[in-house]
C-alpha cells in the first residue's frame, strides 16, 4: 500500500491542488513517441528514457500533440539525473510516468504511488517552455519519494519532508537551481513547519505545514547535526544513500525505526533516531533565528550575502556543494 498524503493514498507535492485529490489516471492515451520503447516499458507507445540503468517509462496523454515530445524528454531526463546524482544512483529500476497535458504552463499535481509497481502522475501545461520545465521542482520532488521505503501514514511527514528538503538541495548541487534561491525558500517557508498551539508531536500532527515544512525542518536539523558530529564528513545525504541501498526504496515496506537505524549506522551517529524520539510525540520549536545565524543564512539570501564567517558556514556550503 502507498503511504498516505493527508488522507489519500500516495505521496504528493506540497504545491499541488488538494493533496491526493486527483488520483484518476485510467484511460490515458499514450503518446506517439518517436523512440522505440526501452526495455521494461510494457506500454509499446510509451516514451522510454534511460537514466543510469533505470527505465523511466512515460505515457503522455496529449491527444492534440500540443507540446513537443523533445521538451518533455529533456525535462524527465534532467529530473532523473538530478535525483540520481544526489543518491549516487536512480532510486528505482523501473518507473511508470503518466503525464497529462493540460492548458496553461508549468507542472502541477504530482503524485507518486507504489500500489502495483512504482508510478508517478503529473500534469504539464501545454504552453510550457523549456525554461518553465527547467525551473520545475515537482518531478524532482516526486522522484525523491522513490528513495524512501513505505513507512506508513503516521510518518508521512518524513516522506514529504525529505522530498521537500532534498528537492532544493539536489537541484542546487546539480546546478539546476541557485543556491541562494534554495536557502531563500527554506528560510521563508520553514517557519510554516513549526508547531502551532495545541499541536502535538510529528507523528500526531498531520497538518499541511507540519507534514511538508515541519518534515523539511526535521531534515535540515538532521543534516546540520550529522555534519557537526562528523566534522562535516557525512550528512543526511550519506544516510539517505545507505537507506536506499539497503532497503531498495519505495518498493519496500519498512518500520521507521529500521529506516532511521540504517541511516544512523551509515553516518556513525544517532542523530536520526534521537531527533525522531525528541519530535515524535512532543511539539518542539527550535530556535530558527539562531540556526540561520549559525549557518550564515541572511534574512533574504537573494539580495543579501551569506555570512561565510558564521560558525556553521562550512556546513551550509557543504550541503549544497556537488559531492
Ligand atoms: Zn510529496
* Residue 138 alpha carbon to ligand 1 centre in Å: 9
| Domain tally, the chain | 2
Q: Is 3 domain-assigned?
A: no
Q: 323 falls in which pLDDT band (50, 70, 90)?
A: low
Q: Are 143 and 120 in contact (CB under 8 A)?
A: yes
Domain end among 145, 176, 198:
145
Q: How far is CA 73 from CA 47, 82, 98, 148, in A?
A: 8, 14, 13, 25
> pTM of the prediction?
0.89
Residues 133 and 252 in one domain: no
* Residue 20 alpha carbon to ligand 1 centre in Å: 10
* Residue 142 alpha carbon to ligand 1 centre in Å: 6
* Residue 121 alpha carbon to ligand 1 centre in Å: 12
* Residue 143 alpha carbon to ligand 1 centre in Å: 9
Apex CA 248: angle with CA 150 and CA 46, to 5°? Answer: 90
- Nearest by Cα to 140 from 116, 185, 172, 117: 172
* Residue 269 alpha carbon to ligand 1 centre in Å: 27
Residues 222 and 316 in one domain: yes
Residues 175 and 210 in one domain: yes
Q: 317 falls in which pLDDT band (50, 70, 90)?
A: very high
* Residue 175 alpha carbon to ligand 1 centre in Å: 22
* Residue 167 alpha carbon to ligand 1 centre in Å: 10
**Mean model confidence pLDDT for the chain:** 90
- pLDDT at residue 44, rounded to an integer: 77
CA 215, CA 165: separation in Å to the nearest integer? 8
Cell numbers placing 56: 523511466
CA 65, CA 316: separation in Å to the nearest integer? 44
Q: Is 1 domain-assigned?
A: no
Q: How many CB atoms lie within 10 A of CB 26?
A: 6
Its domain, for residue 74, covers: 11-145
- pLDDT at residue 45, rounded to an integer: 78
* Residue 205 alpha carbon to ligand 1 centre in Å: 16
CA 4, CA 12: separation in Å to the nearest integer? 9
* Residue 157 alpha carbon to ligand 1 centre in Å: 9
Domain end among 145, 179, 203:
145
For residue 173, pLDDT beyond 50 = yes
Residues 190 and 239 in one domain: yes
Residues 77 and 44 in one domain: yes
Residues 6 or more apart in contact with residue 195 via CB below 8 angstroms: 205, 210, 214, 283, 284, 285
Region 170-193: mean pLDDT is 98
Q: Which range, of 24-28, 177-181, 297-301, averages the lowest pLDDT?
A: 24-28
* Residue 86 alpha carbon to ligand 1 centre in Å: 17
Domain end among 126, 145, 164:
145
Amino acid at each position: 500500500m502507498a503511504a498516505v498524503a493527508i488522507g489519500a493514498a500516495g505521496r504528493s507535492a506540497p504545491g499541488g491542488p488538494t493533496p491526493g485529490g486527483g488520483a484518476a489516471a485510467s484511460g490515458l492515451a499514450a503518446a506517439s513517441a518517436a523512440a522505440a520503447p526501452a526495455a521494461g516499458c510494457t506500454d509499446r507507445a510509451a516514451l522510454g528514457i534511460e537514466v543510469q540503468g533505470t527505465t523511466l517509462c512515460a505515457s503522455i496523454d496529449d491527444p492534440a500533440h500540443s507540446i513537443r515530445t523533445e521538451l518533455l524528454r529533456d525535462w524527465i531526463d534532467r529530473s532523473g539525473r538530478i535525483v540520481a546524482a544526489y543518491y549516487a544512483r536512480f532510486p528505482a529500476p523501473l518507473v511508470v510516468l503518466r503525464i497529462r497535458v493540460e492548458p496553461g504552463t508549468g507542472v502541477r499535481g504530482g503524485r507518486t504511488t507504489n500500489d502495483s509497481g512504482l508510478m508517478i502522475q503529473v500534469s504539464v501545461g501545454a504552453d510550457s517552455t523549456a525554461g518553465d520545465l527547467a525551473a520545475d521542482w515537482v518531478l524532482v520532488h516526486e522522484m525523491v519519494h522513490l528513495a524512501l521505503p513505505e513507512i506508513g501514514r503516521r510518518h508521512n511527514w518524513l516522506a514529504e519532508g525529505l522530498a521537500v528538503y532534498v528537492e532544493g538541495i539536489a537541484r542546487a548541487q546539480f546546478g539546476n537551481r541557485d543556491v541562494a534561491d534554495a536557502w531563500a525558500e527554506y528560510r521563508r517557508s520553514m517557519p510554516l513547519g513549526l508547531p502551532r498551539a495545541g499541536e502535538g508531536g510529528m507523528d500526531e500532527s498531520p497538518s499541511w505545514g507540519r507534514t511538508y515544512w515541519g518534515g523539511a525542518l526535521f531534515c535540515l536539523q538532521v543534516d546540520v547535526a550529522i555534519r557537526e558530529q562528523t566534522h562535516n564528513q557525512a550528512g543526511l545525504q550519506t544516510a539517505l544513500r545507505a537507506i536506499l541501498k539497503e532497503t531498495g526504496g519505495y518498493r519496500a515496506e519498512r518500520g521507521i525505526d529500521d529506516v532511521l537505524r540504517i541511516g544512523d549506522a551509515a553516518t556513525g551517529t544517532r542523530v536520526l533516531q534521537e531527533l525522531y524520539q525528541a519530535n515524535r510525540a512532543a511539539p518542539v520549536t527550535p530556535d530558527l533565528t539562531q540556526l540561520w545565524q549559525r549557518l550564515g543564512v541572511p534574512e533574504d539570501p537573494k539580495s543579501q550575502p551569506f555570512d561565510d564567517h558564521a560558525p556553521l558556514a562550512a556546513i551550509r556550503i557543504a550541503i549544497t556543494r556537488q559531492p
